[in-house]
Each structure stands twice: as C-alpha cells, then as structure tokens.
Amino acid sequence: MRELRLYVMDGDEPAGRWRIVDRTVLEVAEGDVWVTVEGRADDYWLAAGDSLTLMSGMRVWVSAGPHGAMFAFGPLAVPAVRAAQAWWRPLVAWRDGRRHAAASLPT
C-alpha cells in the first residue's frame, strides 16, 4: 500500500511551493504541469502519464498549464535490496527469495 496526495490545480492559480521531506515521485494524472526545482537551471514540463523523482531537501514550485492539471505526490517505490544498508543486503536477498510472506497481515 502507498499513500498518494492528489492535487487539482486550475491554470490561473499561482504556483504552489513544496519542500520535499522524503524521496518522492510527482505523477501527472491529467493536464500539463510545470515544475521548477530550486537551484537548477532547467524547468520541467510534464504531461499526463509523466513523472519526476524528487529527492529529500529539494524545494519545488509546481504550476498547472493553461487548462489546469491533476497530479499526485507519492513515495518512490524502492526495491528492498537497494534501500537496505550493506550489512542487511544478504538477509534482504534471502527474504525476497522466499515464497511465502515473512509475517502475517492484519485483517
């Protein structure tokens, strides 16, 4: 399960500013989105279906194209082997190779 925060922005609204706390992906569901990342020379134009990875500590400004946009911020899915610290990697690789869940899920 992952949490998504869905935003709808009209084309005439001012840009919204976010400070990224955790590694996040911005996904455009509808319309066009203009993204400016503080400290970078280039801006990003994203269309429906496009996404942009944002790292912790970034400050971004997001605005919609002239016809508005719908977009979401959500956690970036990272394979456990990549996210684990080096000394945990053998355990994670072993666990990922198992054919059944390591723990039961709440009902």
Give residue-wise pLDDT tens across range 41-67: 999 999 999 999 999 899 999 999 999
What is the number of other CB atoms lying within 10 angstroms of the CB of residue 35?
Answer: 22
Reading the block at residue 54, the tokens are 């944002």
* pLDDT value at residue 74: 83
Q: Counting beta carbons within 10 angstroms of the beta carbon of residue 38, is it exposed (0 to 12), middle (13 to 18) or buried (19 or more)?
A: exposed
* pLDDT value at residue 90: 59
Average pLDDT over residues 83-105: 50
The whole-chain average pLDDT of the chain stands at 78
Reading the block at residue 81, the tokens are 């082997």
